Amino acid sequence: MDIGRSIQYVFEDPNWVKKMLIGGLLSLIPVFGTLIAAGYWIRIASNVANNQELPLPEWNDFGGDFMRGLRAVVAVLIWAIPLIVFAACAIIPAAATGDSAAGALATLITIGALTIAFIFWVAVAFISPVIIGRVSMSGSISAAFEFREILIDARENLVPLLITVAVAYALGVVASFGVILCLVGYLFTQFLAYMMVSHLYGQIWRRLRLTPRHGTDLSTGTISTDLGV
């Protein structure tokens, strides 16, 4: 994993500031804008996986980027279902009332459910580059159900995934200094940080030899406008 390259490459595109500003502005739009931004990061990762990291993608496919982002979110949510279930199991006992013995039992159940939910959250966050890669490159949500293949990929790439998580966290901390420039400044620095993390995603996808299929060409921006279930 080339961490230095993931940070440096952005600045080699002469139009990187304009592209970052557009992404930051889109991030101001709840849901729709955020999904478009996510789809743009997926295009960056795809280009890196295909050894075409520069120039950065143009903002010329908002509809396609929206669908890419939507697929990625749905795919991660599929894997997060156990997390949601255990979180719900934690809320129900916590809301229950009764004698002291029942209250103590409810507290234990809540703590246990929250602990398991947290473990699932960490696990899903850890393997999300693989999940998103398979769904994005296939153009189909069904790739999120390739549980065995995804877990094997994650097991064989533990170090790259650890590096990606660590760098993403570090860049997130650095990007938080954008708050000094008010919330808007944070959105721009955060978008820039994700552009860098996307490069690491692309490096992982390249290691996994994930390539577009089913007519999906992420590097040029052409993609089916359905979820591809």
Residue 197 domain-assigned?
yes
Residue 226 domain-assigned?
no
In the structure encoding, which two tokens stand for residue 204, read together? 């992982």
Residue 213 domain-assigned?
no
| Domain count for the chain | 1
What's the rounded Cα separation, in Å, for the pair 201 and 195? 10
158-185 pLDDT, tens digit per residue, is 999 999 999 988 888 877 775 555 555 6
Residue 223 domain-assigned?
no
Residue 214 domain-assigned?
no
32-71 pLDDT, tens digit per residue, is 999 999 999 999 999 999 889 999 999 999 999 999 999 9
Residue 61 domain-assigned?
yes
What's the rounded Cα separation, in Å, for the pair 198 and 205? 10
Residue 104 domain-assigned?
yes
Residue 111 domain-assigned?
yes
* Helix, strand, coil percentages, rounded to 5, for the chain: 75, 0, 20
82-102 pLDDT, tens digit per residue, is 888 877 776 765 555 555 666
Owning domain of residue 44: 3-207
What's the rounded Cα separation, in Å, for the pair 218 and 33? 19
